[in-house]
């Protein structure tokens, strides 16, 4: 028979174990939340950095007399879009979604739970990304204020409503597309195609820049003023995309490695696909096209980066690289002037990527039912995004005006919209009266 | 281009090589056989003159042909009394100041800008630009005398004798820019306008009216 002290020791040990376990579990949960928060918040910062990438890429592709205007649009759409998304967009997208068509709670969150803060921050950055896609397409001929009003509508209505269909349900309920099983992990359609369709609507309403097409319909290239900025913008976007796709796990788990590896592979494959495609056709490998092709690869893999194997991620990116070459030709044939090829890169590649996510779903390849649901999501995004954005820009055009005057196009929007220029010491084509510049 | 203008240009182009009765006879040949022919027929005209007048200087036919083409292209600046050298500097120059009887410095600067811009273009592009401005004059909503003066200047290079508001002149320059965008494309339009402005600024630093005020 064992002695009492021995029994007493065992008893106390068991008592301690029983009493400590909930504490240990709770501590583990706190750590878990902290790590998740850290990962998602850091990812949000990376996604925000993509705004810088867009700004660099788009301003580099514009003429020097419009560089400041492009930068300002990228800067300000994140600002006004952020507030509008907090005010109404987040609620529409993630509030309680009883109908499946839009959320009805979580508007203007004032003091939510800690995780809600994190989630709101991450989603605000996504909204900013979707909104800013249109800016480059419409560069060099849109009024600044008209653009910002459009940005508010995208952030506050167009993007979040479609988002609620595909991702809704954070506050309860489900979006109708989500309920059907629509796959769009980080937003090939939700973020990029919607942004691309808004851009398409914008350029349809705006019309081409002066002289972009000859009276006979011949296309004239208008080269950007700084290819170094374009390349740097491409690198920054690529870097930020690791947060865009990686953070979409909303948790710091082992799946991040696969997601980021697929993301990177698709971007590489996009650039390689474009280069090989052009080599096959005997065309030069242009920097702007190559950078856009890698971004096209990133856009395309965004939907399926968590659910496809590496080989398919490469194939998805490769085909996206080819699409970024063919898309602009289609638009030119339609006499649509997309300054940075945003419609092709985000719209068309978003379509392909969403389809690819259905085609190449790991463990269940080429499931026709899934592909049909993906196609339904793609089609509904096109109708909603293009339709509402077209109405929005048309209303802006009919009320406050959207198109800059030919005189403003001559002078450059840096001067006419902001009263300053990007390169005061050595800017070429200063075809305005510098007395009108703002002097600090 | 009017017949008399072309005849003046041909006379100007012939002056370095012929004079007196030879010049008159050469002009008569041009009038009879080449006045209505395309520009490339000048090659045949030059050959005929070299044969008829036994021009013996080296490369006479080539130089004569070049002189004629240059004279036709530079038609607005041609003065029959001028005596160009047989091999003038082909670099385009800023147009000499046109006569301005209004004394309106804004109009003066405006005509200088458009003329310099036109001179830097090919003949057909320059004609397109002037025609484009003519077609869009009514959009300026200027009083009839101003429109007439602008029309006469664009058609016949007559001096503008009325004052025109600077805002209208700015609009006209913008119309010229639009014409260039349509004709040449936006990049070349930007370059052409910028280079013209720079040229005027650097070669006419003492102007009473800065060209920038019209932009």
| pLDDT at position A1 over 50 | no
Interatomic CA distance for residues A262 and A245, integer angstroms: 10
Q: What is the pLDDT of residue A14?
A: 65
Nearest C-alpha neighbor of A223 from the set A66, A61, A54? A61
pLDDT in tens, A415-437: 999 999 999 877 666 778 777 77
Rounded to two decimals, what is the model's pTM? 0.80
Residue range B67-73: mean pLDDT, rounded: 77
Task: Write the burial class of residue A28 (CB in 10 Å: 0-12 exposed, 13-18 middle, 19+ buried).
Answer: exposed
State ipTM: 0.84
pLDDT tier at B82, thresholds 50, 70, 90: very low
Q: How far apart are CA A245 and CA A239, in angstroms?
A: 11
* Per-residue model confidence (pLDDT) at position B94: 43
Nearest to B41 by CA among B29, B59, B58: B29
The predicted pLDDT at position A439 comes to 59
Contact A211 B185 (CB under 8 A): yes
Q: Do A435 and B212 touch (CB under 8 A)?
A: yes
- The answer to whether the CB atoms of B180 and A211 lie below 8 A apart is yes
pLDDT exceeds cutoff 70 at B69 = yes
Chain B nearest-CA residue for A222: B187
pLDDT at B85: 42
Domains in chain A, please, with CATH? 22-403 (1.10.3430.10)
Which residues of chain B have a CB within 8 Å of the CB of A416?
Answer: none
Determine the average pLDDT of the residues in B17-39: 78
Given this model, what pLDDT does residue A19 score?
59
Task: Compute the nearest-CA separation of A361 from chain B (Å).
Answer: 47
Residue A335, chain B, CB below 8 Å: the answer is no
* A217 Cβ under 8 Å from any chain B Cβ: no
CB contact under 8 Å between A211 and B189, yes or no, is: yes
Supply the pLDDT for residue A27. 75
Report whether pLDDT(A382) > 70.
yes
Residues A298-344 have pLDDT tens digits of 999 999 999 999 999 999 999 999 999 999 999 999 999 999 999 99
How would residue B35 be classed by pLDDT, with cut points 50, 70 and 90?
Answer: confident
Mean pLDDT of B62-82: 66
Say if CB A397 and CB A201 are below 8 A apart. Answer: no
Return the axis-axis angle of helices A255-280 and A287-301, rounded to nearest 10°: 140
Q: Which of A312, A381, A296 is nearest to A344 (CA)?
A: A296
Q: Say if residue B173's pLDDT is above 80.
A: yes
In this predicted structure, what is the pLDDT of residue B28? 80
SS (H, E, C) chain A: CCCHHHHHHHHHHHHHHHHHHHHHHHHHHHHHHHHHHHHHHHHHHHHHHHHHHHHHHHHHHCCHHHHHHHHHHHHHHHHHHHHHHHHHHHHHHHCCECCCCCCCCCCCCCCCCHHHHHHHHHHHHHHHHHHHHHHHHCCCCECHHHHHHHHHHHHHHHHHHHHHHHHCCCCCECCHHHHHCCCCCCCHHHHHHHHHHHHHHHHHHHCCCCCCECCCCCECCCCCCCHHHHHHHHHHHHHHHHHHHHHHHCCCCCHHHHHHHHHHHHHHHHHHHHHHHHHHCCCCCCHHHHHHHHHHHHHHHCCCCCCCCHHHHHHHHHHHHHHHHHHHHHHHHCCCCCCCCHHHHHHHHHHHHHHHHHHCCCCCCCCHHHHHHHHHHHHHHHHHHHHHHHHHHHHHHHHCCCECCHHHHHHCHHHHHHCCCCCCCCCCCCCCCHHHCCCC
Q: Which of B131, B169, B176, B181 to mutate to test the interface with A (most CBs of A within 10 A)?
A: B181
User: Which residues pair with residue B198 across a beta bridge?
Assistant: none
Cα B38 from chain centre: 19
Measure in Å the smallest separation between the Cα of B41 and chain A Cα atoms.
29
pLDDT range class, residue B81, cuts 50, 70, 90:
very low
A123-135: string of b/e by CB count within 10 Å (b at 16+)?
A: bbbbbbbbbbbbb
> Is the model's pLDDT at A136 over the cut of 90?
yes
A430 has a chain B CB within 8 A of its CB: yes
Looking at CA atoms only, how far is residue A47 from chain B in angstroms?
34
Contact A212/B at CB under 8 A = yes
A424 or A171: whose pLDDT is higher? A171
């Amino acid at each position: 028979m064992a002695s009492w002290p021995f029994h007493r020791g065992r008893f106390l040990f068991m008592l301690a174990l029983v009493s400590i376990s909930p504490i240990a579990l709770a501590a583990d949960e706190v750590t878990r939340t902290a790590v998740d928060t850290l990962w998602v918040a850091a990812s949000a910062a990376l996604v925000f950095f993509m705004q810088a990438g867009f700004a660099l890429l788009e301003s580099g592709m514009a003429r020097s007399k419009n560089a400041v205007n492009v930068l300002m649009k990228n800067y300000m759409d994140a600002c006004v879009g952020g507030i509008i998304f907090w005010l109404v967009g987040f609620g529409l997208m993630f509030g309680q979604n009883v109908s499946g068509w839009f959320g009805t709670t979580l508007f203007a969150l004032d003091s939510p739970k800690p995780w809600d803060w994190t989630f709101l921050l991450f989603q605000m950055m996504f909204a900013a990304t979707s909104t800013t896609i249109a800016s480059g397409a419409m560069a060099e001929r849109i009024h600044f204020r008209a653009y910002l009003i459009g940005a508010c509508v995208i952030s506050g209505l167009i993007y979040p409503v479609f988002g609620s269909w595909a991702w809704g349900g954070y506050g309860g309920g489900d979006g109708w597309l989500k309920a059907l099983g629509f796959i769009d992990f980080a937003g090939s359609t939700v973020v990029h195609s919607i942004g691309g369709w808004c851009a398409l609507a914008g350029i349809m309403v705006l019309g081409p820049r002066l002289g972009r097409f000859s009276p006979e319909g011949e296309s004239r290239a208008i080269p950007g003023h700084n290819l170094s900025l374009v390349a740097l913008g491409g690198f920054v976007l690529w870097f930020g995309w690791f947060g865009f796709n990686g953070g979409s796990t909303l948790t710091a788990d082992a799946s991040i490695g696969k997601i980021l590896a697929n993301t990177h592979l698709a971007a590489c494959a996009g650039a390689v696909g474009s280069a090989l495609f052009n080599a096959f056709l005997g065309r030069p490998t242009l920097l702007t096209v190559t950078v856009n092709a890698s971004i096209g690869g990133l856009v395309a893999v965004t939907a399926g980066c968590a659910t496809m194997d590496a080989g398919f991620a490469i194939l998805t990116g490769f085909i996206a690289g080819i699409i970024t070459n063919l898309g602009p030709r289609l638009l030119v044939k339609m006499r649509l002037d997309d300054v940075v090829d945003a419609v092709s890169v985000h719209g068309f590649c978003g379509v392909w990527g969403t389809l690819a996510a259905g085609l190449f779903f790991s463990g269940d390849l080429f499931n026709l039912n899934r592909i049909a649901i993906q196609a339904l999501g793609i089609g509904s995004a096109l109708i909603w995004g293009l339709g509402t954005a077209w109405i929005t820009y048309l209303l802006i055009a009919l009320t406050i005006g959207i198109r800059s005057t030919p005189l403003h196009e001559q002078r450059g929007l840096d001067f006419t919209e902001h009263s300053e220029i990007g390169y005061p010491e050595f800017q070429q084509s200063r075809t305005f009266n510098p007395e009108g510049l703002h002097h600090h | 281009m009017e017949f008399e203008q072309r005849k003046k240009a041909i006379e100007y182009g012939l002056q370095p090589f012929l004079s007196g009765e030879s010049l008159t006879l050469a002009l008569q040949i041009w009038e009879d056989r080449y006045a209505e022919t395309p520009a490339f027929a000048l090659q045949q005209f030059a050959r005929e003159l070299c044969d008829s007048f036994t021009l013996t200087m080296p490369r006479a036919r080539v130089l004569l042909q070049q002189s004629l083409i240059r004279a036709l292209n530079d038609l607005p600046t041609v003065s029959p009394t001028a005596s160009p050298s047989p091999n003038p500097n082909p670099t385009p120059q800023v147009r000499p100041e046109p006569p301005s009887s209004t004394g309106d410095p804004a109009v003066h600067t405006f005509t200088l800008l458009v003329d310099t811009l036109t001179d830097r273009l090919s003949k057909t592009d320059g004609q397109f630009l002037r025609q484009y401005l003519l077609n869009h004059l009514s959009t300026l909503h200027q009083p009839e005398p101003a429109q007439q003066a602008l029309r006469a200047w664009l058609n016949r290079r007559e001096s503008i004798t009325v004052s025109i508001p600077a805002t209208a002149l700015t609009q006209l320059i913008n119309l010229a820019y639009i014409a260039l965008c349509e004709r040449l494309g936006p990049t070349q339009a930007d370059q052409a306008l910028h280079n013209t402005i720079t040229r005027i600024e650097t070669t006419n630093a003492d102007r009473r009216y800065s060209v920038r005020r019209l932009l």
